[in-house]
Structure 1
């Protein structure tokens, strides 16, 4: 294994940067020059909690580390701008794994349109990745969880249930449907759609990370409303239907509570035409928050992922 500074040099060599970056990686800190308010978010990915190396190749883990963070920037209606990546790993980790991880980070940064401007390396017993992502609101107000109003339409952009289905497959020791497994290894974030939704008048928005029901409950709590999901508006992907049949679990449960989807969910005024790629799943109602129903009834099952449940 090469030394720390040799590794850092190999990671930062030839990085491309966006217009926001004044001083890129290579100094004690990077320098950015934003054109508006800055959105900042951070996430940890811990081995055997968020990923397993025997289930996910290093490239997918690198991509996922970027994707799940940039998704939070998108959910605020900001344009993703830059990321810093801190990586801790065992001293005996194969160099090829690190190279593939780095390739994944670079590939997802390019897909998301963000600049990698720094980070840190450390030794640890297991692989842990911490990414901080920044976004530029470019003069727009942030779209928070607290703006939903009774009568608003609830809509989603992105894939629901695929990651949960992929996890169920991996837990059974199988590798197909391959598209669901790939989605669990790294979600397909609808990059650019946060700004699209904000520009279309979204009143509240968030990233679906813990499951649609669990995350919409955050909008209910922050906005002081209730939300009802119309199951007739939910399309069950073919792969999810097959996994549900094989496991004896309800297919709708994967879509509503599977978790790690990293789709975007937002509320829009009822008179707003939904942007291309967004589809309606429910309606906002009056209430005191915390309540998400399905077809006007409480959902009998898990609401989503909770690290400390």
Structure 2
């Protein structure tokens, strides 16, 4: 394919305007169009979920679909928000997710720091064990997890399901944070110690700010996994009063035997479940790169 030529104006210092030929590559244009199409394919399910959340169920089930909110309504969202089951599940999910994030980041950070900064006996075995645990299928542990939580009296408890989430997320989080810790040269701490800082203060003032993007990225991963997890919560939280949001969403299917599935309310509930994820990401995304340069200079 031949390149397309376009004219662009260039202003020279004396004020003369010159025309310059700029080559527009067809391959680059095709890649841009392909990227736009893929972005639309990815965005459409999210748009359809949000559109269905504000569309009456009778119209949503019609043969002819409507891709614009011509019949906008908030009744579906109001119905979900006034459901006591949704509010209870929301509180349960917030407590479980918050506790999981704090514990995962604390344990994984110190483990990643240890295997990246110090050489000790059994270090390689520990790293291989972490990798091996990550490869274990979660479904194969359900019976043992249920019996363990039942014997400890932690079924339908925040601490019980949070402990399992922490154990599930720590291996991958350790590997993620290990890369961030290893990427920060230890010479920065040594230079700060030469300037008079102690090792703990050098770490807190120099190295720790540089690890902030890694901690935030790991926190986002832990948040998404704990917030959306379904199968483990289904086993460990059998009581209706202790359901998390993904488990509560299943109640629409159990009610379908009598009155059918209200897809408009299902989409409204799914939209509300996605809102905390969007808010959390918007809150932390600006801080994911803020620590890349902070802390590199003492003072």
TM-score after normalising by structure 2: 0.20
> Which structure's CA Rg is the greater one?
2
**Bigger fraction of residues in helix:** 2
Higher strand share: 1
Question: What's the TM-score once normalised by structure 1's chain length?
Answer: 0.19
